[in-house]
Structure 1
């Protein structure tokens, strides 16, 4: 299962091509697209290092969005093995990162500016809880789930003076971290039949998020440029309607 661009990322790319350069919502959409691109690049980096693992043991399912009861949950990466499942939360953030676990927050410092982010440890633990519920609902064996927070930006500096950081690794260390954890488990929980069944069920159950992108950014349909892109400059000629 190959990782594809998030639908919102594709929608933003198309939307920007259909908005005039002076539209007041362009800066917000461009900023969101930049974050989406950074996240996607980080996930691709993570995928590369996971691909170095033996494919007959570790099966990667990227970007799964599943339903647990009335709620949807999305995981950056899921790796299935016969012994356990790995859930990865990937962060592609430059600068210096500090995990304030007491206040359940991740703080990034870049160019002397501090910015708060949701704690990825909390995110991945919630995903684990949802996945356990999902597996139970679909009557799969009770298989262990390990979580990892993955830092994909190679120059990111990690700082934490209050707690010893666990289940945290740089993307380049993923193959070693995953294999080391895998070796700690001795029993195979999934039979070959269960393994294939789970892999296929997860793929079929994936429900990518599709937003009403105009409603999301409160843009009127009348603001969208129509017509065909110029093959040379990729612009859309603005048609002028003659008035009589």
Structure 2
């Protein structure tokens, strides 16, 4: 069941509005245009996940799209957060075309012809989100529940390469079509309920109350 369904965040709408209002002759027009396009592309990738997640048992999962929480290090953002009585799941969504390779130096990059574009390593990114969510939950004395994490590439034409056959990458990184089977395996893995339905609802309300939308820049 969606507690916070997908919708375009206000800061993305603001970035688009700023792009429209900025004349082509402006010194920073290209930078503004690229930022607006990248933000919208990221949202479209996240929105694709809605199709897969709607097939989950409605009574078993509470689903949040775009959660931004405060901690001692300012804020951290989660694309999708799934809560159940048995485990929680963080989903980081990437909308990148062509190919993505993961090497033995912990780098994630795309190579097209002779050009190499390096990206933030999503495995390290989601591991940090995992750490910060654990700390955030403990701050408010919520019961301890296993937290799983996956990185999902939302485009059908993205070719993923795990160059070193790193098991951690194979377990965490996947295409969107694998998400439901992955969640099924997590359901099989976590058979013991850790919280009551009421505790889960209390946590859901708290997350909504603590959500801090990114400020509009326009």
TM-score bucket of the superposed structures, by smaller chain = over 0.9
Structure 2 residue 151 is the aligned partner of structure 1 residue 146: no
Q: 1:112 to 1:153 in 2, by over 3 A?
A: farther
Deviation at 1:112, TM superposition (A): 4.5
Structure 2 residue 134 is the aligned partner of structure 1 residue 129: no
Contact 1:104–1:118, Cα closer than 8 Å, also in 2? no
Deviation at 1:211, TM superposition (A): 4.6
Question: 5 Å matches for 1:1-244?
Answer: 1-100=4-103, 102-110=104-112, 112-164=114-166, 165-213=170-218
Contact 2:102–2:109, Cα closer than 8 Å, also in 1? yes
Deviation at 1:193, TM superposition (A): 1.0
Partner of 1:237: none
1: CA distance, partners of 2:88 / 2:121:
21
TM-score, normalised via structure 2 length: 0.92
Segments of 5+ residues of structure 2 without an aligned counterpart are none
Aligned-pair RMSD on alpha carbons?
A: 1.4
2: CA distance, partners of 1:108 / 1:115:
5
Q: 1:115 to 1:70 in 2, by over 3 A?
A: closer
1: CA distance, partners of 2:19 / 2:214:
19
Q: 1:58 to 1:110 in 2, by over 3 A?
A: farther
Deviation at 1:21, TM superposition (A): 2.5
1:45-75 C-alpha deviation (Å, 9 max, x unpaired): 1122111111111121011000122421111
2: CA distance, partners of 1:6 / 1:111:
35
SS of aligned partner of 1:53? coil
Partner of 1:226: none
1: CA distance, partners of 2:49 / 2:7:
14
2: CA distance, partners of 1:19 / 1:161:
43
1: CA distance, partners of 2:71 / 2:215:
18
Contact 2:101–2:108, Cα closer than 8 Å, also in 1? yes
1: CA distance, partners of 2:22 / 2:174:
40
Deviation at 1:8, TM superposition (A): 2.6
**Larger relative contact order (C-alpha < 8 A, sep ≥ 6)?**
2
Deviation at 1:6, TM superposition (A): 2.7
Segments of 5+ residues of structure 1 without an aligned counterpart are 214-244
1:151-200 C-alpha deviation (Å, 9 max, x unpaired): 10111001122133221221122111112111111110010110110111
SS of aligned partner of 1:29? helix
SS of aligned partner of 1:116? strand
Q: Which structure is higher in helix share?
A: 2
Contact 2:15–2:217, Cα closer than 8 Å, also in 1? no
TM-score, normalised via structure 1 length: 0.83
